[in-house]
Amino acid sequence: MILAYDQITLARVDDGESGADGTSFAWNILSNSNVEKTTTAYKIASYNVADGREVVIGNKYTVVFKCKIPAGNYVTLYIGSTMLSEEKFAGTGEEEIYTAQVTAVQGNTTGWEQYVWFYHSNGGATNNNNADEATMYWACLYDGHITPPEVWCPAESEIYGADGADGTSVTIASKAVTYQLSDSGVTTPTGTWSGSVPTLTQGKYLWTRTVVAYSTGDSTTSYSVSYIAVDGQDGAAGADGVGISSTAVTYQAGASQTAVPTGTWSASVPTLSASLPYLWTRTALTYSDGTTSAAYSVSSTLDSVEVGGRNLASFSTILHYGSGAFTRDGYVYTISSLGTGNGIYFLSSLFEVGKAYCLSYKFQKTNGGTLTAIGGHCSGFTTKSFMVDGNKSSSAYITGYALSDDTDIHTVTAILVFNGSASNNNLYIQPNRENYNSASMACKFWDIMLEQSNIPSNWTPAPEDTETAIEEVAKDVETVTAIANGKSTAYYADSAPSATSFDLCVNDIWFDTDGDYAMYMWDGTAWELCQFSTGALAASCVTANLIASSAVTAAKIASGAVTTVKLAANAVTAAKIAAGTITTTQIAANTITGDNIAAATITATNIAADTITGSLIAADTITADNIVAGTITATELAASSVTTDKLAALSVTAAKIAAGAITADKIEAGAVTAEKISVSDLSALSATIGGFTIGSTSIYSGADAFGTTSGNIYIGSLGISLGTTFKVTAAGALTATSGTIGGWTIGSSALYNGTASMTSTTAGTYIGADGIASNDGSGNQVSIANGMFCTTYYDDMNDATYKITLGDTGGGLYISSESGDVLAHLTSDSLLTGTGRFAGDLSVEGTADFGDTITSGGKLWANDAIISGGHSTAIGSYLSASNSSDVSLASGTATAVASISLPAGSWVVIGSARFSANTSGYRRANLSATSGSTDVNVGMAPCPSGVTNIQVVREFVVTSPTTYYLNLAQNSGSTLTCGSGLGLITAMRIA
């Protein structure tokens, strides 16, 4: 292994000017303290003190942090609930870096010294949590009162990364320092190395090589380089030159790989340890003028690795802390209820100050509660490494490692150095120690290993436990041996074992293998035959499969020994009965019943003539499915033997009755009724059924006449008729004096649906001799009567009725009031009107004369228009649009009811709307380029309660095509409706 060192020391170089004082160096003792956090909460941020440390009450510290605090807000610094500094840091609203030198004080809360919290408020001199949003960017806390850098620095443990792999204990076997000159200060020379410093040559580099050999056979090589400067150009006579007068190589063990140790340098190689794992080599050159220079190299060995192996966690040292049942099953420990801090602990007497200890174990939540973290109290220890499930924790073991609530098996390993500085120096295993919120949670722990080591070993039981287990096994062996010695011995032999050849004991058993395995028992002097009686046999212990074939014969069965209760069901089959064995004399009365005879067992050939008589047949024994077809014929039936109660339903069908077999004298009176007759074709010349006469061409009630007799019902070849008022001929002609078809009423002089007259205000349609009318039920009606076309229009400002007449005197189209005043007259060459209303675009090529105003649903195109009593103005473009459906406005809402797209130009835009009447609330309208706007500064026109019309006018200068909206708003009150076509937006170009 070679460790190259990239430092070059230049000798005899003129000193430069002194630099400015740098900031003091110290390690940030907060972990993970550069995570940006933005919040309005009282607590901005909380940080753990790194490496298992705690803030020490009475010690001096320097804090520096970057934060953005709103003006008027303040930040204070706490340890838990105790203020660390009386100083309040005032916010400016900008990102600022704050610095303070503080002394830690003890408040009313202990046990929180591993946390540093930042709070903010807007309370000034008095804290309160009504804070605005603040952002914490980073924070650093340093030991002592120093001048800190105004940038974030990591904690020491965050620099060096994760622990390396386990190593093997080694020692330094030898060390050699050699030298060589080279032309390069970068490339390692390849020549011969010398144990003494060679003659120095200006312009060359002096290389120093240090080779350390270890007990494992490995070695490390490090280098340092010095430059021998060349002479400058000749100048004025100067001082005498200098040279190297001596070289000294010394060593020192260090705690850091980058910071030069400040202790005592020694000419001999020191022994490295876990706390001082790095070997530093210093090569010091002394020049003839008394000046010196030094070069350093650094290497590491495995001397610092401490390997344990002996488990200190024994049955007697693993103790229960807190309440709840604590049980042990072998090496598995269970706590049934984890209350406040409950867990396992080890007494401090097990530990030695300054020594490293490795605690490892497995645990699992078994039921109840909520699992949140694992860790344990260890105030008397410094955490060097803490891993859970292979993940290295940035927090100390006392802080805990966050876990999800699960029932997985978790593996924990912690490397701790005992300092014994706390009031409670015991070491604990405590799930959920930080919140103590799962009193009902149960956990089990196993493979608990505590060893004096800084690397973990595989679990082995404590030696004390192993010795105890061995002792217990030995006792068990003695007990088993004693019990075995008192047990009987079984012998299998063709002759009796003799007492002279065997150590026979009372109750020993011998099975005579030559005598059908007869069993004998030794009574102390002789073998006694042992036989089993039937009482010694358990029920069902002898089964058929235990009896050899032909083992039981008739000669071996005593008379009466076998009874029916001793025969299993189906045990005796026909195959097991010899022919002629069973005769009638051997069958008891009622022994053989129907359920004892297999199907098809008894056939006609098995029954002797006259054997079975009626007295021998039980009721319902013989059913139809038991009789072979054709077996029973008339000759086999006695007279009157078959009666109706002996025939099953549908058992006698037509196919089973011979032709002419049933005559009238064989049918009882009333025996044949309608429900007993199945009719598929009934023919008769005529008949009367229920008052109706059935003839050859008709069915009728009353007279055989079509529509000429009152009260007569007729269905026949001429048609269908009910009296004289309703009839339908065979050709389909319908006669009825009145009726309703599909909602339409047919009267004597009119056909109508809903409205029943020309003057009715009910919604519907009327068609009659006096005219045609269509009414929507809301006062809107279109009528055609007397050669005129009339329409009714209800205006909110004046309620007038208008009529449209075609072809009246003078020709053309007239629009007149109910009183007869002509409002507009349209002919083939002119249009005269007081008020013009148009649903779509209107284009006039010549002159249009409008006495009052123009309303259009589309565009008005005209070269010249006369409006308002002869006033003439030029109109470039005219655009208009309205809503196509009803728009509802709930209280507190706004919506666009109509919109219009305007090209570039100057426009006057007019919006108008008519609401449903309402007695409360306050409505508004505006014209805006924003749909649904409620902005009161863009053409707002309020409409007070109860008013149903609203109008707003606004002028727009449009630079590019823009859509403008007529927005309606309902401030309060019940829901309003703007009906279809009643929200109108109109635009007229003025330039």
User: For 845-899, what is each residue's pLDDT tens digit?
Assistant: 545 555 444 544 444 444 444 333 333 333 456 678 888 888 888 877 888 889 9
The pLDDT tens digits for 75-119 are 888 775 556 666 778 888 899 998 988 887 765 555 567 778 888
Q: How far apart are CA 500 and CA 334, in angstroms?
A: 58
pLDDT class of 368 with cuts at 50, 70, 90: confident
Interval 343-359: pLDDT, tens:
899 999 999 999 999 99
3-state DSSP percent of the chain in helix, strand and coil, to 5: 10, 40, 55
Where residue 432 falls (left for φ over 0; alpha for ψ -120 to 50; beta otherwise) is: left
CA distance 751 to 757: 10
Task: Read off the pLDDT of each residue in 596-620 and give the average, rounded to a whole number.
Answer: 71
Which residues, in sequence order, are CB contacts of 816 under 8 Å at separation 6+?
802, 803, 805, 822, 823
Closest alpha carbon to 207 in 198, 217, 215: 198
Specify the pLDDT at position 536.
61
Q: What's the pLDDT at 794?
A: 30
Could you tell me which of 839, 866, 861, 831 has the C-alpha nearest to residue 851? 866
pLDDT tier at 188, thresholds 50, 70, 90: very high
| Least confidently predicted of 487-491, 715-719, 859-863 | 859-863
Condensed to tens digits (0 to 9), the pLDDT of residues 656-696 reads: 777 777 776 777 766 766 666 555 544 544 667 777 888 88
What pLDDT is stored for residue 342 in this prediction? 80
* Res. 66: pLDDT tops 60: yes
Fill in the DSSP letter of residue 665. Answer: G
Residue 798: per-residue pLDDT: 33
What is the reported pLDDT for 534? 62
Give the integer Cα–Cα distance in Å for 600 and 574: 14
* pLDDT at 414 > cutoff 90: yes
How many whole angstroms separate alpha carbon 590 and alpha carbon 616? 12
User: Helix or strand or coil: residue 91?
Assistant: coil
Residue 844 near residue 832, CB atoms below 8 Å: no
Question: What is residue 271's DSSP assignment?
Answer: P
Which one has a higher pLDDT value, 987 or 605?
Answer: 987
Pick the most confident of 48-57, 157-166, 447-456: 447-456
Position 453 confidence tier, pLDDT thresholds 50, 70, 90: confident
The SS3 of residue 349 is: helix
What SS3 class is residue 968?
Answer: strand
- Burial code (b: 16+ CB inside 10 Å, e: under 16) for 858-897 equals bbbebeebebeeeeeeebeebbbbbbeeebebeeeebbbb
Tokens of 250: 């010394």
Q: What is residue 107's predicted lDDT score, i.e. its pLDDT? A: 57
pLDDT score recorded for residue 490:
86
Rounded to whole angstroms, the Cα distance separating 178 from 786 reads 135
What are 920's two structure tokens? 């409360």
Evaluate if residue 191 carries a pLDDT over 60. yes
Sorted by sequence, the CB contacts under 8 Å of residue 966 that are 6+ apart come out as: 896, 897, 898, 899, 911, 913, 925, 927, 952, 983, 984, 985
Q: Which of 126-140, 697-711, 766-780, 816-830 bottoms out in mean pLDDT, i.e. has the lowest?
A: 816-830
* pLDDT above 90: residue 475: no
What mean pLDDT is reported for the chain?
76
pLDDT given for residue 827 in this prediction = 64
pLDDT at residue 361, as a whole number: 95
Distance separating alpha carbons of residues 178 and 722, to the nearest angstrom: 140
Structure tokens at 942: 């309020």
Mean pLDDT to the nearest integer, 53-59: 80
pLDDT, mean of residues 38-62: 82
Contacts of 167 (CB under 8 A, 6+ apart): 302, 305, 455
Residue with tokens 């025969």: 567
- Residue 535 in tokens: 């009482």
pLDDT at 54: 81
Q: Spell out the residues 6+ positions from residue 20 whose beta carbon is closer than 8 angstroms to its own.
A: none
User: Are the C-beta atoms of residues 49 and 31 closer than 8 Å to each other?
Assistant: yes
Q: What is the largest CA-CA distance in the chain?
A: 174
Please, is 644 exposed, middle or buried when counting C-beta atoms within 10 Å of its C-beta (0-12, 13-18, 19+)?
A: exposed
pLDDT value at residue 454: 81
Give the per-residue pLDDT at 170.
Answer: 77
**Amino acid residing at 534:** T
pLDDT band at 1 (very low <50, low <70, confident <90, very high): very low
d(CA 142, CA 233): 51
How far is it, in rounded angstroms, from Cα 185 to Cα 228? 11
Question: Quick one: pLDDT at residue 264?
Answer: 92
Give the per-residue pLDDT at 576.
Answer: 75
In this prediction, residue 943 carries a pLDDT of 65
* Least confident range of 40-44, 498-502, 801-805: 801-805
Instruction: Determine the residue type at 330.
Output: G
Query: Is 50 exceeded by the pLDDT of residue 949?
Result: yes
Beta carbons within 10 angstroms of residue 40's beta carbon: 13
Q: How far apart are CA 123 and CA 130, in angstroms?
A: 7
3-state secondary structure of 614: helix
Give me the pLDDT at residue 735, please.
Answer: 81
The answer to whether 868 and 947 are in contact (CB under 8 A) is no
Reply yes or no on whether the pLDDT at 12 is more than 50.
no
Q: Do the Cβ atoms of 812 and 825 come closer than 8 Å?
A: yes
Spell out the domains of the chain, with CATH numbers in brackets. Answer: 26-143 (2.60.120), 172-227 (no CATH), 244-257+269-300 (no CATH), 318-475 (2.60.120), 745-777 (no CATH), 834-868 (no CATH), 954-990 (no CATH)
Asked if residue 711 has pLDDT above 80, the reply is: no
Q: Which residues pair with 631 in a beta bridge?
A: none
Q: Which value, in Å, is the radius of gyration of the alpha carbons in the chain? A: 60
- So what's the pLDDT on residue 102? 83
Greater confidence (982 vs 198) lies with 198
**136 vs 474, residue with greater confidence:** 136
Greater pLDDT, 923 or 678: 923
Is the model's pLDDT at 305 over the cut of 60? no
Count, residues in the chain: 991
pLDDT greater than 50 at residue 585: yes
Between CA 963 and CA 586 the distance in angstroms is 117
pLDDT for residue 194: 93
Taking residues 921-926, what's their average pLDDT? 76
In single-letter form, the type of residue at position 714 comes to Y
pLDDT bin (cut points 50, 70, 90) of residue 502 is confident
DSSP string, 861-916: EEEEEEETTTEEE--S-EEEEE-SS-EEE-TTEEEEEEEEEE-SEEEEEEEEEEEP
The answer on pLDDT for 552 being more than 80 is no
Instruction: Report, as an integer, the average pLDDT of 944-955.
Output: 76
Query: Would you say 457 and 309 are in contact if contact means Cβ atoms under 8 Å apart?
Result: yes
d(C-alpha 554, C-alpha 571), whole Å: 16
The answer to whether the CB of 301 falls within 8 A of the CB of 218 is no
Strands 687-689 and 692-694, by their bridges, are antiparallel
pLDDT band at residue 426 under the 50/70/90 scheme = very high
Tally Cβ neighbours within 10 Å of residue 305.
Answer: 19
pLDDT in tens, 772-808: 888 887 777 777 776 666 665 333 223 344 555 555 4
pLDDT beyond 70 at 488? yes
Give the whole-angstrom CA distance, residue 638 versus residue 832. Answer: 117
In percent, the amount of the chain with pLDDT more than 70 equals 71
Q: Report, as an integer, the average pLDDT of 960-965.
A: 91
Dist. CA 710–CA 725, nearest whole Å = 8
In sign, the C-alpha dihedral spanning 554, 555, 556, 561 is: positive
Predicted local confidence at residue 381, as pLDDT: 94
> What is residue 363's predicted lDDT score, i.e. its pLDDT?
93
Q: Is 145 helix (H, G, I), strand (E, B) or coil?
A: coil
Q: 130-134, 213-217, 245-249: which has the minimum mean pLDDT?
A: 130-134
Task: Give the residue from 296, 259, 262 showing the smallest Cα distance to 280.
Answer: 296
850 or 68, higher pLDDT: 68
**Banded pLDDT at 193 (limits 50, 70, 90):** very high
pLDDT at 446 exceeding the cut of 90: yes
Distances (CA, A) of 223 to 172, 218, 277, 803: 18, 17, 19, 117
